[in-house]
């Protein structure tokens, strides 16, 4: 069973989250609750939590600081922030430091389930990729195609689940697989027909196209939601990939929707 830690200083919120998890993940998860950031850091480590649902605004150690400490000691833990503040700087700070997602209060059970399931999928793809390390270490230029194909299938799945994280790179995946990054680069291009950077960019730009259909999201917000720290770099990458800036794409998309 997956272990989900709930950290919120408001009793009503703790109860709401606990009930929602029990209802949506009855046979998949077990939960524990804590009332502040200090307890969250301690319990996450002692209990070996897989996912932490954390309120940002808590007395003492706030959610951001608590998450930094949790991720420092357990990098594979998935942190989802719960916040009453619809301010994108919170989400940006959260994602930049390695959190998976953030959900606004009052919490919609559907949003909660979607976010938790995505975190579970991320954790699973991480484990599957780590399990492929022995296979990766034995690959050679003459290795059977099905052996390399199995490895790259896991790499593809991992990237589809984690493309939005700032830390995803050729080197980070090479580290997981425990192989030389230059060799991994050769294997990647041989299998996919494009280099790693172009493949990752395409995943991010395709996700950005979907997000840009939301008129309430600024292009800079979209950039950070798909893994770009620099909005300017995102704009250049988007234009190179699509021939349009994000703003031009949004205007064109709107015109097409209005015409149909």
What is 2-123's CATH number? 3.40.50.2300
pLDDT digits (tens, 9 = 90+) for 142-159: 666 677 888 999 999 999
Please spell the DSSP secondary structure of the chain, one letter per residue: -EEEEEE-S-HHHHHHHHHHHHHHSTTTEEEEEESSHHHHHHHHHHHT-SEEEEES--SSS-HHHHHHHHHHH-TT-EEEEEES---HHHHHHHHHTT--EEEESSPPHHHHHHHHHHHHHHHHHHHHHHHTHHHHHH--TTS-HHHHHHHHHHHHHHHHHHTTSTT-SHHHHHHHHTS-HHHHHHHHHHHHSS-HHHHHHHHHHHHHHHHTT-TTS-HHHHHHHTT-S-HHHHHHHHHHHHSS-HHHHHHHHHHHHHH-
Q: Is the pTM of this model over 0.85?
A: no
Out of 1.10.3720.10, 3.40.50.720, 1.10.10.60, 2.40.10.340, select the CATH number for domain 200-259. Answer: 1.10.10.60
pLDDT digits (tens, 9 = 90+) for 215-243: 888 898 899 889 898 899 999 999 999 99
| Predicted confidence (pLDDT) per residue in 46-103, tens digit | 999 999 999 988 888 988 899 989 999 998 899 998 887 655 566 566 666 666 777 8
pLDDT-based confidence at residue 1 (cuts at 50, 70, 90): confident
Q: What is the residue extent of each domain of the chain?
A: 2-123, 132-193, 200-259
Q: Do the domains 200-259 and 2-123 match in fold?
A: no
Whether pLDDT at 112 is above 50: yes
Tens-digit pLDDT profile for residues 236-257? 999 999 999 999 999 885 444 4
């Amino acid at each position: 069973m997956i272990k989900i830690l709930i950290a919120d200083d408001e009793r009503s919120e703790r109860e709401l989250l606990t009930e929602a998890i029990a209802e949506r993940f009855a046979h998949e998860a077990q939960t524990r609750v804590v009332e502040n950031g200090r307890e969250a850091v301690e319990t996450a480590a002692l209990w070996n939590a897989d996912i932490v649902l954390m309120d940002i605004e808590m007395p003492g150690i706030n959610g951001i600081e608590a998450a930094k400490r949790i991720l420092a000691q357990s990098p594979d833990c998935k942190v989802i922030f719960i916040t009453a503040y619809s301010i994108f700087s919170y989400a940006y700070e959260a994602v930049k430091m390695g959190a998976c997602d953030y959900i606004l209060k009052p919490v919609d059970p559907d949003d909660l389930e979607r976010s938790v399931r995505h975190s579970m999928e991320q954790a699973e793809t991480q484990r599957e990729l780590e399990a492929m390390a022995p296979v990766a270490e034995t690959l050679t230029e003459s290795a059977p195609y099905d052996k390399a194909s199995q490895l790259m299938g896991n790499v593809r799945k991992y990237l589809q689940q984690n493309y939005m994280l700032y830390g995803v790179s050729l080197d980070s995946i090479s580290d997981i697989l425990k192989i030389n990054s230059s060799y991994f680069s050769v294997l990647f291009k041989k299998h996919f027909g494009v280099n790693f950077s172009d493949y990752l960019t395409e995943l991010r730009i395709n996700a950005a196209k979907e997000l840009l259909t939301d008129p309430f999201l600024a292009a800079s917000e979209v950039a950070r939601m798909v893994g770009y720290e620099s909005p300017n770099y995102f704009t250049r990458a988007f234009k190179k990939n699509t021939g349009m800036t994000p703003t031009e794409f949004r205007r064109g998309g709107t015109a097409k929707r209005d015409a149909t």
